[in-house]
Amino acid sequence: MTVVVIDANLDPLRAEFEAALPDGVSVSWPDARDTAAVEAAVKGADVLVSGKCDGRMAAIATRLRLVHAAGAGTDGIDIASLAPGTQVANTFHHEDSIAEYAVSAAILLRRGFLRQHDALRRARWDSPAYDPSSPWVDTLGAATVGFVGFGHIGARCWQRFRAFGARGVAVTRRGEVDAAAEGLAWSGTIADLGSLLESSDVVVVSAPLTPGTTGLIGAAELSRMRPAAVLVNVGRGPVVDEDALYRALSDRAIGGAALDVWYRYPADGHSAAPGNHPFETLDNVLMTPHSSGLTRETFARRADDIAANIGRLAAGEPLRNVVAVAP
């Protein structure tokens, strides 16, 4: 069996990944920037480990039996172009790292640590102990945290927030969350989004991007948030309307935002403005480059999942986390 890996995030884990594979499996790691090398490698491959496989690559890789993304997203895989019967699988394990980000970002923003950090660099002690005009702040335990989306990411975030003594509420598309079982004060459907926004001090967005969630939180919804509330978006940028969010932040209609997912990404390399507005000029925004789930532990567990699925494929056993089979 031949495996081709085209995912730079797995490069540091080559030794561990290859050691976990069954005997007789050969692995190649072509440079994703070298089109000729990639095409030559996938031509005879049985397994492609990558979140991207367009129609051209699928036409070349006619022997593929499995395309395995090293993450949750499979939207970069042209399933319809794959050979019939090719399985497409994904893996997760980013929920712990994302939950850590959500909690730390909420604390940074609610406690004013970003503002204080900047002030002290200018020799100003922005604390009510030294400056009576500095605001008093609240602990995370005093907060109500509202979850827009309550899948594996939202649920894991709630576990971490709950440990601080916070109160939780959640809305999902179908309203299937058992609030009592999850320890939430209440849960509802998207129809209850306004009530969630009005009652929350922290709003964590982890909903996926679909036609129904694009612009789900716009100007009307942001206007229902509390003036000191902070928004943490770890879902997808366009779930929150960019224009409305920038206005709410620049006008200080809300307390702040931690933005890890964006409206524009680099087409190549690592340089690009993340949006159409200068969020970087705002002192109430924590900006991160879609890195909330990027830890060594995330990808070590993903590598284990992928290697285990390749082992199942070699043994003729059912695979796990199969999201589609090419028709």
Whether the per-residue pLDDT at 172 is higher than 90: the answer is yes
Mean pLDDT value of segment 294-322: 97
What per-residue confidence (pLDDT) applies to 232?
Answer: 98
SS3 229: coil
Show me where the domains of the chain are located: 2-92+296-325, 95-287
More confident residue, 75 or 324: 324
Percent of the chain with pLDDT over 90: 98
The verdict on domain 95-287 having CATH code 3.40.50.720 is yes
Mean pLDDT value of segment 44-64: 96
Q: Both tokens of residue 50?
A: 């990558």
* Domain spanning 2-92+296-325, CATH architecture: 3-Layer(aba) Sandwich (3.40)
Run of H or E residues at 163: helix 152-163
Chain length of the chain:
327
CA 56 to chain centre: 28
What per-residue confidence (pLDDT) applies to 266?
Answer: 94
Whether the per-residue pLDDT at 222 is higher than 90: the answer is yes
- Burial string for 151-186 (b: 16+ CB within 10 Å, else e) reads bebbbbbbbbbeeeebbbbbbbeeeebeeeebebeb
Distances (CA, A) of 65 to 151, 179, 313, 316: 29, 41, 9, 11
Residue 30, Cβ neighbours under 10 Å: how many?
17
Which range is least confidently modeled, 61-65, 70-74, 141-145, 250-254? Answer: 70-74
For the stretch 158-170, pLDDT in tens is 999 999 999 999 9
Q: Both tokens of residue 104?
A: 């730390």
Whether the per-residue pLDDT at 281 is higher than 90: the answer is yes
For the stretch 12-37, pLDDT in tens is 999 999 999 999 999 999 999 999 99
What per-residue confidence (pLDDT) applies to 73?
Answer: 87
User: Residue 230 forms beta bridges with which residues?
Assistant: 202, 256
Rounded distance between C-alpha atoms, residue 175 and residue 173, angstroms: 6
Which range is least confidently modeled, 20-29, 249-258, 266-275? Answer: 266-275
- Domains 2-92+296-325 and 95-287 in one fold: yes
Mean pLDDT for all residues in the chain:
97
Mean pLDDT value of segment 143-172: 98
Whether the per-residue pLDDT at 268 is higher than 90: the answer is no
User: For residue 153, which of 84, 73, 61 has the smallest C-alpha distance?
Assistant: 73
